[in-house]
Structure 1
Amino acid sequence: MIYLDYAATTPMCKEAVAAYAEAATVYFGNESSLHDVGTTARKLLTLCRRELALMINGEAEGVYFTSGGTEANVLAVRSLIAAHRRKGTHLITTEIEHASLHHLFKQLEAEGYKVTYLPVDRYGRIRLTDLERAVTPETILASIQHANSEIGTIQPLADIGRLLRARGVLFHSDCVQTFAKIQLDVKAMAIDSLSISAHKVYGPKGVGAVYIDPRRHWKPVFPGATHESGFRPGTVNVPGIAAFLTAAKRLYERMESEQLRFEQLRSRLLDAIAAKRLPVAVEGHRDARLAHIVGLSVNGLEGQFVMLECNRAGIAISTGSACQVGLQAPSRTMIAVGKTPEEARQFIRVSFGTATTEADIDRFVSVLERLVSAGKGANQG
């Protein structure tokens, strides 16, 4: 099977598997225990916290490990707004956030918060003027993703961060798709809080992290919790965290070379589509986007059909975010960028990873060409 769905999840790298096995065997203690076995586990956890902070130019005391990106998003937003509720009840987000945040903000509306959902342009970018107009004296926090998981469009976090900080609004960003792919700098970007996930960077599933600027006050979502400085309950997954940081460091150290390789693969894919004159449009921003995520609209064919036919041909792609699979409604991102529901259902996503080759790209284009030709024949018949 040719795997072209790395934006959904990645396989654990062998180094992460080895790190997990060693940590589970040697550092198996509960890091909260006061005996030597617990102390050993705590020292490893402290090292992991420092390593993660270095990768985002943050402080180790601001790192809190979680069970994944979804929990990271929910706990970060809830813990920050709970601590600043006295300021007001207004929140800001975008129309194209990950499902975990979209559903959270809908829930917060039901709880009495007022939420502004910023629109995006046809390329999936917010307008800074819209953000500026949305801020009110009662605005507590804005949550704006770093990059969209379906079309790869990158938001201008530094500009957003400066705008929000100047107005005293907390800034959270879902950085699950960008961590260890492009450089993150919480200080330069004026980010107060961000979320990341291990399984997007060749680490284990069920592990993630939140970074909260130590200067920002937060209130525990679970009162009485003792783990992770009270940020969340439950015994800390030290082996999973060790595997997470092992994988993340490995990817981080190869970040520039991998991004260059992804740009080459992307060019090969788009050049082949153009050369064969396939009725396929590239979605997302031309320049401000992740190299390894390619959103495509196949005119005349439903994305679900293309995905299933690719699967039959031994190629794994997707029709968007894995967290939205099975829903009847078309992609929120596609609707937000101006597509009709019918057009939105023609969307597919191809995403590259460390094992992706030029031959994989050529095989995918060949299958896509066959499907398009078959679709033309059926329409003419």
Structure 2
Amino acid sequence: MSEKAIASYTEAAKFAYGNSSSLHDIGGKAYELLTASRKAFAALLGGDPNGVYFTSGGSEGNILAIQSLLNSTPNKKHIIASSLEHASIDHYLSLLRAKGYDITFLKHDQNGNILMEHLEEEIREDTALVTIQHGNSEIGTIQNIKEIGLFLKKRKIYFHTDCVQTFGKLLIPVDEMNADAYTFSSHKIYGPKGVGAVYIHPAASWSPVIPGTTHEDGFRPGTVNVPGIFSFVTAANEFYNQREKHFNHFIKLKQHLISQLKTQLPTITIVNETKKEVLPNIVGVVTNSLEGQFVMLELNRKGFAVSTGSACQAGNSHPSKTLLSIGFDKDSAHQFIRISFGITNTISEVDELINAILSIVR
């Protein structure tokens, strides 16, 4: 967490600890801070404060956004999604399928972009909703949400996009991007974990997931985490004010890492190496020699935290579904690691990482 986010949380926890729904003065202080936070967050998005609903994070936000929109179209039972969605959406779509929904997953090109012609082909009269993430956490692919949203708006089909990875790295002007619902998370921009937000365009119709819920205008139950929300919005403002600086810093680290790895390990594959429309802080690497999980564990022993983009349960390591979706075979997908940068990382730390990878592979 950023120091400002920690300080703002501490301050709010001391002086705005009341239930923001209570009518007494202590609750009133919390309500005033919550209202100010909502307005400030909406301003970052260029949106309406009435469209902001605070949540416990990206996963809950994804589920609530999708189900709230589906509740307003009960007679339509078809959903379209990309094959690169976050696990929270994948798992929820599996649940919806068990409840009678028909789910279509879109095809992608070799860079991970959805094929618009495939989206057009799959639209049906009973299509209720399309969900496509803005930026992929494993290979950094950025989807053209504005173009997709315009296409769906003309057909009056609800559109949700998961912006957890892109929030703060890219501008997200909600009134220009043509989606109906957007999901955000606090800890991706140095705020506290367990806090997030959903923006639903005020013109979109939705119904509560749990009838009778009163908090957040019925969007989610439970006493609102006002200190966490204030800290989240503080971090978001701080990050946005330095967005261009952070973006350029990430690019510098990324270019250095890629050039050095390609020079010293020419057999490796950098996913989306030459593609411009990708997240600046993410580098996907296929070692073409070692299991990604082995490399991840060895790097961990050397003090580096990277991921494999895979799920490991009961000793069974599964290949990255993202890599499989863009044409890599299972062996290559098993040899994948995802490296990501933070704002405090340095070129010297990247050099240390490169040397660690070299020692493991050699």
Partner residue, 2:50: 61
Q: 1:273 aligns with which of 261, 267, 270?
A: 261
Q: 1:244 aligns with which of 217, 232, 239?
A: 232
TM-score normalised according to structure 2 size = 0.97
Cα-to-partner distance string for 1:257-282 (whole Å, 9 max, x where unaligned): 11011111111001101221442111
Partner residue, 1:128: 116
Cα-to-partner distance string for 1:43-86 (whole Å, 9 max, x where unaligned): 11011111111111111000001111111000000010111123
Partner residue, 2:11: 22
In 1, Cα distance between equivalents of 2:123 and 2:320: 27
In 1, Cα distance between equivalents of 2:177 and 2:188: 22
In 2, Cα distance between equivalents of 1:365 and 1:239: 40
Would you say the 8 A contact 2:129–2:160 is kept in 1?
yes
SS of 2:339 mapped into structure 1:
strand
Amino acid at match of 1:240: G
In 1, Cα distance between equivalents of 2:233 and 2:151: 32
Would you say the 8 A contact 2:250–2:343 is kept in 1?
no
TM-superposed CA distance for 1:338, in Å, is: 1.2
Residue 198 of structure 1 pairs with residue 182 of structure 2: no
Amino acid at match of 2:177: M
SS of 1:316 mapped into structure 2:
coil
Partner residue, 2:166: 178
Partner residue, 2:71: 82
Residue 100 of structure 1 pairs with residue 69 of structure 2: no
Partner residue, 1:377: none
In 2, Cα distance between equivalents of 1:301 and 1:357: 26
Residue 149 of structure 1 pairs with residue 144 of structure 2: no
Amino acid at match of 1:300: S
Q: 1:119 aligns with which of 107, 111, 120?
A: 107
Q: Note the 1:359-370 alignment, pairs <5 A.
A: 359-370=348-359
In 2, Cα distance between equivalents of 1:36 and 1:243: 22
Cα-to-partner distance string for 1:158-203 (whole Å, 9 max, x where unaligned): 1101111011111100000011111101111101001111111111
Partner residue, 1:300: 289
In 2, Cα distance between equivalents of 1:43 and 1:325: 44
Would you say the 8 A contact 1:154–1:289 is kept in 2?
yes
Higher relative contact order (CA 8 A, sep 6+): 1
Would you say the 8 A contact 2:265–2:358 is kept in 1?
no
Amino acid at match of 1:69: G
Partner residue, 1:330: 319
Structure 1 residue runs without a partner (length 5+): 1-11, 374-381
Bigger CA drift: 281-290 or 39-48? 281-290
Amino acid at match of 1:61: N
Residue 287 of structure 1 pairs with residue 276 of structure 2: yes
SS of 1:42 mapped into structure 2:
helix
Amino acid at match of 1:334: L
SS of 2:237 mapped into structure 1:
helix
In 1, Cα distance between equivalents of 2:18 and 2:312: 38
Q: 1:343 aligns with which of 332, 335, 345?
A: 332
Bigger CA drift: 336-345 or 274-283? 274-283
Runs (4+) of structure 1 exceeding 4 A deviation are none
Q: What root-mean-square deviation, in Å, do the aligned CA atoms of Structure 1 and Structure 2 show? A: 1.1
Q: 1:311 aligns with which of 287, 300, 312?
A: 300
Amino acid at match of 2:317: Q
Would you say the 8 A contact 1:278–1:369 is kept in 2?
no
Cα-to-partner distance string for 1:331-360 (whole Å, 9 max, x where unaligned): 110111112211101000110011110011
Amino acid at match of 1:221: V
Partner residue, 1:34: 23
In 1, Cα distance between equivalents of 2:25 and 2:312: 46
Would you say the 8 A contact 2:249–2:343 is kept in 1?
no
SS of 2:317 mapped into structure 1:
coil
In 2, Cα distance between equivalents of 1:273 and 1:108: 43
Would you say the 8 A contact 2:285–2:336 is kept in 1?
yes
Partner residue, 1:376: none
Partner residue, 1:7: none
Amino acid at match of 2:234: T
Partner residue, 1:358: 347
Q: How many residue pairs are counted as aligned between the two chains?
A: 359
Would you say the 8 A contact 1:297–1:347 is kept in 2?
yes
Partner residue, 1:5: none
Would you say the 8 A contact 2:312–2:318 is kept in 1?
no
TM-superposed CA distance for 1:325, in Å, is: 4.8
Structure 2 residue runs without a partner (length 5+): none
TM-score normalised according to structure 1 size = 0.92
TM-superposed CA distance for 1:132, in Å, is: 1.2
Q: 2:38 aligns with which of 45, 49, 56?
A: 49
Would you say the 8 A contact 2:9–2:227 is kept in 1?
yes
Q: 1:259 aligns with which of 217, 222, 247?
A: 247
Residue 168 of structure 1 pairs with residue 156 of structure 2: yes
Amino acid at match of 1:42: Y
SS of 1:315 mapped into structure 2:
coil
Amino acid at match of 1:140: A
Partner residue, 2:214: 226
In 1, Cα distance between equivalents of 2:129 and 2:155: 11
SS of 1:85 mapped into structure 2:
coil
